[in-house]
Structure 1
Amino acid sequence: MIVTVTPNPALDHTYRIDRLEVGEPNRVNAPAVRAGGKGLNVTRVLRQQGQPSHAVTTAGGASGALLAADIDASGLPITLVPVGSPTRSSIAIVDLMGDATTVLNEVGSPLDEAELAALVGAVRRELASASCLVVSGSLPPATAEGFAADLVDAARAASVPTIVDAMGDALLLAASAGAAVLKPNRRELAATTKTDDPLAGARLLTGRGAGLVVVSLGTEGMLAVPREGDAMHAALPLSFSGNPTGAGDAAVAALAVGLLETASTTVASGVWSREELEPMLRRAVVWSAASVLAPLAGELAPGHEALGDRVGFEVWR
């Protein structure tokens, strides 16, 4: 069972518009509204692909009731921790002609001490049946940056590998805690490590203790940098138009499946061979592209399996 944690979920509103006129009135159809947040998107993708997954997140206020109702309607297995503050909202505007997506993410509200303890307690209970833990997304305001690192420690005590998708001090602390995989994108990695060189930034994180760092490079594919072994770059010789909002979450879902298919000694040591990295990277690149082609985050477009043979690999030096 792959357990995902979304500490700061959102009610996602996705508008699709032929052409966004910035600074002008725009008439739009009603948005697609669904429960969102990185970990929830990961669980949606996993379930769509027939992989068992259980999500843990919070919900509060009227927006939280809508989030809970959507989750219930979708049939996602979930543990919902009730909180006092309303669940935040996220607005994605997909400009079809301009081939661009603009996202407005509310910051969210702090969790009080009891609510945060309840969230951590729910995760600890799920670790008893977990084969992998995924901690994804932003933290509620005022939450300690060590939140993900603390969960990495708890998972290690239960012999469960962890994937962390975060940035800033949260990412650095997760690396120091020995997360099996870190999955920043290029922008997040640069902001965290203060270097624009993705290989150098990833090496900084593996030097702190991460087993493997996989960096999303947008249209340039993905870079996988293990603690020991060659850095591998994977990409499709194609570009895709659509909504990239959940592409990174689809990649995380693929990495979680890859961890389950990889020898536990490799995951624990961070010593990866090319033969072990390639199948995991191939799936991550394909699922990420398939997410861009799907209308909503947390979904993969049908027929994406055919893209697997077109993924190219090279050692990145």
Structure 2
Amino acid sequence: MIVTLTPNPALDLTYHLERLEVGASQRVPPAQVRAGGKGVNVARVLHDQGHPVRVVAPVGGRSGESFTADLDDAGVPHSLLPVAPATRSTVAIVTPESTTNLNEAGAPLADTDWDALLALTSAALTAGTGRPVLVCSGSLPAGAPADVMARVVAVARERGARCVVDTSGDHLLVAADAGADVLKPNHHELLAAVGGPDPVTAARTLARRSGGLVYASLGADGLLRVPAEGPVLRARLDSALSGNTTGAGDAAVAAIAGALALAETDDAAVLARATAWSAAAVLHPLAGGIADPDPLLHRITVEPWEDPCR
């Protein structure tokens, strides 16, 4: 069972346009609306690929009702915590050239909400079958406790689960110091949190802090797999793709979590699949979905990366 915790879920609105006319009034087609947030996107991909999964998230207000109804319609299992603040909204404007995202910050949760959310996460891990994996993905709402990511990792440890964290800033460093098994920042988040001259050096530093693995997204330059010690690998597609990049990193996290749940040990194969799923997400119109990744696998090269730390 893979449990995805999304502390800051969203109701996603996606507009597909031929072009975005900034500063002008523009008629647009109806938005496509669905439950989102990075952990929810991870769960959707895993669910569509046949993995047992459960979404855990706080929801509130009319937007929270729409969020819940959409997960029900999609058949994605969930354990949702009712909270007072309304679920935030995000807007993705997708054109052939680029994707523009407008993301609300998310309202603070009460201390009791955090306690209840972690208890709900623990219960979801206990109720599942198979090798448990906990994925905590996305931003945190304003005012989140400084130690919340350490508490998330502790919940995974208590339930014998592997823990994957995809977040940013100080919360990323807290997750590393707590010993998360896998961290998945993009290169901007990585350098902002750790510093250093390049993403590989920063990823190695972060991996050594956690004692686990760091998968670092480099955008069109591919995906790095950096352990605390040992060879660094990079996977890269032969050419960049056009489409909706919003859920690309989430699809990579889904592939990594799925491999952990199945106890896969072929590092290069897991990295290639994560890269293929990420690319397949760009070809899907909505975050949380992927096109068929199989045709992309033969276009991916996995190779050793020279580590400046060595």
Q: Given the two structures, how large is their TM-score scaled by the length of structure 1?
A: 0.93
- In 1, the alpha carbon distance for the partners of 2:266 and 2:179 equals 20
Paired amino acid for 2:223 = M
Name the SS for the 1:190 alignment partner: helix
Matched, 1:308 2:306: no
Aligned residue runs from structure 1 range 1-317, under 5 A: 1-96=1-96, 99-128=97-126, 129=128, 131-262=132-263, 276-302=266-292, 304-317=293-306
CA apart distance, 1:196: 4.6
For residue 92 of structure 2, what is the amino acid of its counterpart? A
- Residue aligned with 1:278, SS: helix
- Worse-superposed segment, 47-56 or 201-210: 201-210
Residues 118, 155 of structure 2: 8 Å contact kept: no
Alpha-carbon distance, 1:77 to partner = 0.1
Per-residue deviation at 1:182?
Answer: 0.2
Residue 261 of structure 1, CA deviation: 3.4
CA distance in 2, matches of 1:9, 1:277: 31
Q: How many residues align?
A: 303
Deviations 1:59-98 (A, max 9, x none): 10111111111111111100010000110000000122xx
- In structure 2, runs of 5+ residues without a counterpart are none
1:251 is displaced (CA, Å) by 0.3
- The answer to whether the 8 Å contact 2:2/2:261 transfers is no
d(CA) in 2 for partners of 1:119, 1:199: 34
8 Å Cα contact 1:181-1:210 kept in structure 2: no
The gaps in structure 1 that reach 5 residues or longer are 264-274
Report the Cα distance in structure 2 between the residues aligned to 1:121 and 1:259, rounded to whole angstroms: 23
- AA at the equivalent of 2:99: T
Quick check: 1:58–1:119 contact (8 Å CA) kept in 2? yes
Tell me how far apart the structure 1 counterparts of residues 51 and 94 of structure 2 sit (CA, whole Å).
Answer: 29
Partner Cα distance (2:4, 2:210) in 1: 22
**TM (normalized to structure 2)?**
0.95
Distance 1:181 1:91, change over 3 A: same
Report SS of the residue matched to 2:266.
Answer: helix
Encode CA deviations 1:82-125: one digit per residue, 9 max, x unaligned. Answer: 000110000000122xx101000000100112211111110011
Mapped partners of 2:23, 2:6: distance in 1: 34
1:6 touches 1:136 (CA, 8 Å); kept in 2?
yes
C-alpha distance after superposition, 1:210-257 (max 9, x if no partner): 410000111111011011210101111021100000000000000001
> How far has the Cα of 1:309 moved from its partner?
2.1
- Which amino acid in the other structure matches residue 191 of structure 2? A
Question: In 2, distance between residues paired with 1:300 and 1:79?
Answer: 24
- The one-letter code sitting in structure 2 at the alignment partner of 1:182 is L
Q: Residue by residue, what CA displacement relative to the aligned partner does 1:183-221 show, whole Å, maximum 9, x if unpaired? A: 000111111112351111111111212410000111111
Distance 1:225 1:40 in 2: 25
User: Deviation at 1:260?
Assistant: 2.5
Q: Quick check: 2:284–2:290 contact (8 Å CA) kept in 1?
A: yes
Amino acid at match of 1:63: S
Q: What is the CA distance between 1:276 and its match in structure 2?
A: 2.7
**Amino acid in the other structure paired with 1:135:** C
Distance 1:202 1:80, change over 3 A: same
Distance 1:209 1:119 in 2: 24
Secondary structure, in 3 states, of the residue corresponding to 1:206? Answer: helix
Q: Is the 8 A contact 1:15 1:94 kept in 2?
A: yes
Measured on the aligned residues, the alpha-carbon RMSD in Å equals: 1.2
Does structure 1 conserve the Cα–Cα contact (< 8 Å) formed by 2:55 and 2:79? yes
Quote the residue 1:269 is aligned against: none
CA distance in 2, matches of 1:17, 1:248: 22
Q: Deviations over 1:249-308 (max 9, x none)?
A: 000000001212336xxxxxxxxxxx7310110110000000000000010113x21221
The alpha-carbon distance between structure 1 residues 134 and 23, as it changes in their structure 2 partners (threshold 3 A), is: same
